[in-house]
Amino acid sequence: MSEEERKQHVVLVHGACHGAWCWYKVKPQLEASGHRVTAVDLAASGIDMTRSITDISTCEQYSEPLMQLMTSLPDDEKVVLVGHSLGGLSLAMAMDMFPTKISVSVFVTAMMPDTKHSPSFVWDKDLELAKMLVRANPLIKKDMAERRSFSEEGYGSVTRIFIVCGKDLVSPEDYQRSMISNFPPKEVMEIKDADHMPMFSKPQQLCALLLEIANKYA
């Protein structure tokens, strides 16, 4: 396969209370390597002023911009999905609905649900994360608690990679590894000195891992 053929479309999904802007250090590095990069603003996030966070009551509504992007992709195009923190839940929704359009999904210290429990299971084990979600949007937390599990045929069929951030104080390493043990991904990578925001604190290391994943799995 030629170098040109290996260029991928990388889709970056932010966490709660952030926006596409949070990838500003990573996006140009990926583009400099020849990849096409789309950083998504989820509903009522970043520069999306079409509605306020109080208008969002379900994860479908919150994730709608990502779903619209996935719907717009040609049937023969596969993307590399990258989600940070609570953005992992939006990734899971996209994987469940569009498994054939995703070559690999990367969870960067992100919520990684399984295919057995309600999606809220991943944060019910961590009080601080639950508090964060309540502050961000209590209605979404309620919606997630009432949802059925993601499917093996959709979400479970997509290759998953988890990037552990060793100095994360929001999602501590033990909690990250509990999600990994609960629903093991294809590969676990690590940025030992990264905090909860590796796109700010360790952008070069994060970008290097994303490039490695794109070359290996996409």
* Nearest one of 66, 71, 115 to 91, comparing CA atoms: 66
Question: Which parts of the chain fold into alpha helices (H)?
Answer: 27-32, 59-62, 64-72, 87-97, 121-124, 127-136, 138-146, 173-182, 198-201, 203-217
Token pair, residue 125, equals 């084990």
Given the residues 45, 120, 168, 171, the one annotated as active site: 168
Q: Is 85 designated active site? A: yes
Bridge partners of 133, per DSSP, are none
Sign of the CA dihedral with 47 first, then 48, 52, and 57 last: negative
Tokens 């009432």 sit on residue: 146
Q: By 3-state DSSP, what share of the chain in percent is helix, strand and coil, each rounded to 5?
A: 45, 15, 40
Catalytic residue among 33, 63, 85, 105: 85
Q: Which of 210, 215, 212, 216 is nearest to 81 (CA)?
A: 210
Q: Which residues are catalytic?
A: 85, 168, 196
